Amino acid sequence: MREEVVLITGANGEIGHGLIRYLSGLNYTIVAIDVNPLDRPLRSLVSKWIVGDILDQILLGRLVVEHQIRTIYHLASILSTKAEYNPETAHRINVEGTLNLLRLAVEQSQWQGSPVKFIYPSSIAAYGLETLDQKNQVGKVKENEHLFPTTMYGCNKLYCEHLGRYYSKHYRQLAADSAAGPSVDFRCLRFPGLISAETIPTGGTSDYGPEMLHAAAKGTLYNCFVRPDTRLPFMVMPDAIKSLINLEAADQEKLSRFVYNVTSFNPTAREIFEITKKAFPDAQIDFEVDQRRQKIVDTWPADVDDSAARQDWGWQPDFDQERAFNEYLIPAIRKQYMETENH
Ligand code: AKB
């Protein structure tokens, strides 16, 4: 009999790290896939790690045959800043890659006779506010508002949300055998900027938050690429993992939508600077605004409304701004770099 597993794509990324640690602690059998060899500390936590590309149909075909996949956490993607340097490549990975995984999920669902859960992290990049005035005036943005992304990554995420809905509800709706088998159980979170104590993100436009904090702890100069008054919603990694796990576990009947906002706090870059300076008084932080990246962040909402997630599946972050910095990020980051120095 094939082994029942959880499949995680983009396993080496920030969310992958947190998720693998969490699920392995609960003794889940994990198959991890990434374009690079899985980071060494994670290897003993998974049952199998594969170096491979989600565009490789043969590899994905093999996965379907070899495993009984009960949940897919499809984390692999090219983030917003990196995607702007090669939008077509980003499209291939972000959209075609997701399409391949959805196709895999349909095949698995039909083999198993029950829907495979497909957990998909989307992003506040799916939004696109037209002006800074509008951003400052709209308040908390709901899931179905202001969906005019200006980045390739944002367009990709928004489209993949629709693909997930299509694969769940309307897949091959005209085919003679369309009622033949169950389809995918697609569930999506729109994440704010994420901050982890363990890893530093690469290629995103909300990266100034985590970069500032990690640079300060390492004692390196940091030039923040957005204006001090820039405001975005953020969440720490343990809450991001919690939201993925809780959405996966939620009763399907309780879910009134496919896509849910989740968030916890929304500081300005100046507030992150002040908190960082207080914790690391010797930190060297300047503001050197990159107008083009600023323009992207100015289209993302200053806050999002996550009341649907709270209502439908009891979403509630564990870390508000105070706890996030003082009880998680600052102590853990400080410890991490002190340990690195002592080795
Ligand atoms: C990015 O900046 O691209 C990501 C995101 C907000 O989705 N961190």
Domain CATH number, residue 254: 3.40.50.720
Q: How far away, in angstroms, is 168 Cα from ligand 1 center?
A: 25
Percent of the chain whose predicted confidence (pLDDT) is above 90: 91
Between these two residues, 179 and 88, which has the higher pLDDT value? 88
Q: In the prediction, which pLDDT does 183 show?
A: 85
Q: How confident is the model at residue 338 (pLDDT cuts 50, 70, 90)?
A: confident
Is residue 178 over pLDDT 70? no
Atom of ligand 1 nearest to the CA of 205: 2
Could you tell me the residue range of the domain that residue 121 belongs to? 77-196+234-264+303-319
Output the pLDDT for position 257.
98
Residue listed under structure tokens 């919690």 = 242
343 lies in some domain: no
Q: Is the pLDDT of residue 2 over 80?
A: no
**% the chain with pLDDT above 70:** 97
Q: Could you say which of 120, 153, 222, 260 is catalytic? A: 153
Mean pLDDT of the chain: 95
Among protein residues, the one with the nearest Cα to ligand 1's atom 4 is 204
Q: Which of 249, 177, 219 is nearest to 341 (CA)?
A: 219
pLDDT at 1: 61
Indicate whether residue 299 lines ligand 1 (CB < 6 A): no
Residue 5, in any domain of the structure? no
Q: Are 222 and 277 in contact (CB under 8 A)?
A: no
Q: Whose CA is nearest to atom 1 of ligand 1?
A: 204
* Residue 225 domain-assigned (yes or no): no
For residue 179, report the distance from its CA to the centre of ligand 1, in Å. Answer: 38
Residue 202 included in any domain:
no
308 within domain boundaries:
yes
Q: Which candidate, 244, 261, 292, 272, places its Cα nearest to that of 192?
A: 261
- Is 73 catalytic? The answer is no
**Cβ of 94 below 6 Å from ligand 1:** no
| Ligand 1 and 76: CB distance under 6 A | no
Q: Residue 206 CA: which ligand 1 atom is closest?
A: 2
Q: Kindly state whether residue 142 falls inside one of the protein's structural domains.
A: yes
| pLDDT bracket for residue 3 (50, 70, 90) | confident
CA distance 92 to 340: 37
Residue 203 forms part of a structural domain: no
Q: What is the pLDDT of residue 339?
A: 77
Look at residue 111 in the predicted model and tell me its pLDDT: 86
Could you tell me how many helices (H) and strands (E) the chain has, helices first? 15, 13
Asked if the structure places residue 158 within a domain, the reply is yes
Domain count, the chain: 1
Q: Give this prediction's pTM.
A: 0.96
Give me ligand 1 centre to Cα 112, in Å.
34
Average pLDDT over residues 126-137: 98
